[in-house]
Amino acid sequence: MASIAAEALAARIKAAHHIVVLTGAGVSAESGVPTFRDRQTGLWAKYRPEDLATPEAFRRDPETVWRWYEWRRSILEEIKPNPGHFAIAELEALPREFALITQNVDGLHAVAGSRNIIELHGNIGRTICSVERCVVSSWTLAGSAPPKCPNCGAHLRPDVVWFGESLPERPFIEAQDHADRCDLFLSVGTSTVVQPAASLPFMAKRSGAFVVEINVDLTPLSHVADLVVREKSGFFLPSVLELLK
């Protein structure tokens, strides 16, 4: 039987004209992708992700940072989207204005069938030159990692936004525009602490949207959201979609 929260959200979705979904690492947790709040395993247990995903770490020790991303990519090769990703892709198919904004770099929303995805933090599947920022799709590794850009010889790096770096301008402007105009905003599996993405649900709330948080834990948004659902997104979202059929 559907929960009261699922029924409440389904009713909001039916009445909404413009729905925005913001996702974070929690939406991929049920697929087996570790969040940054999860304890690191194996080789990487002695590092904090916040100490590796930075431009300073890359300058200091590019090989370790590159190897960490190789490890994260190797995890992703085995991984599939979960029912939460598929439910979000189904929301996009409803006849309403819709935007999916993600902080995730894992590409799982696209695999699940989402089409218009605003990727705020890049995509781990892409590699760029650390100087020219152009996308590089093939390289040869001569000597130690990371490989070098075939054009200019600088180190290659993953096309992700590291802590302390600015977000790509256009996607964030687009995300702000949707947050400002929507009437229903779902914040799913994000700790709502990494700025500036964390500002989006608050902006939506200020602009009059009904804000829903779906997260297994308390976040800074919990006290502000109109509906807080303490359930796993991969369990809760499909139950809402069922009510829309």
- Would you give the end-to-end CA distance of the chain in angstroms? 15
Q: Which of residues 178-207 bind ligand NAD (CB under 6 A)?
A: 189-191, 194
Question: Any bridge partners for residue 21, and if so which?
Answer: 100, 186
Question: Is residue 239 near ligand NAD by the rule CB under 6 A?
Answer: no
**Distance between CA atoms of residues 237 and 240, nearest Å:** 5
Closer residue to ligand NAD, CB minimum distance, 104 or 130: 104
Shortest Å, Cβ 218 to ligand NAD: 8
Q: Which of residues 30-59 bind ligand NAD (CB under 6 A)?
A: 30, 33, 35-37
Catalytic entry in 17, 18, 85, 121: 121
Closer residue to ligand NAD, CB minimum distance, 132 or 165: 165
CB 67 within 8 A of CB 147: no
Which residue in 105, 175, 212, 241 binds ligand NAD (CB under 6 A)? Answer: 105
Q: Which stretch binds ligand NAD (CB under 6 A): 7-15, 100-108, 126-134, 143-151?
A: 100-108
Q: How far is CA 53 from the centre of its chain?
A: 15
Which residue in 114, 187, 233, 239 binds ligand NAD (CB under 6 A)? Answer: 233
Identity (one letter) of the amino acid at 3?
S
**Of all helices (H) and strands (E), which one includes residue 204?**
helix 199-206
Closer residue to ligand NAD, CB minimum distance, 103 or 114: 103
Known catalytic residue: 121?
Answer: yes
The interaxial angle of helices 4-15 and 233-243, nearest 10 deg, is 60
Identity (one letter) of the amino acid at 218?
L
Question: Is residue 215 near ligand NAD by the rule CB under 6 A?
Answer: yes
Q: Among 126, 131, 124, 165, which Cα is nearest to 149's? A: 131
**Distance between CA atoms of residues 224 and 228, nearest Å:** 9
In the complex, which residues of this chain contact ligand NAD (CB under 6 A)? 24-26, 28-30, 33, 35-37, 103-106, 121, 189-191, 194, 214-217, 219, 232-234
Query: Which residues are marked as active site?
Result: 121
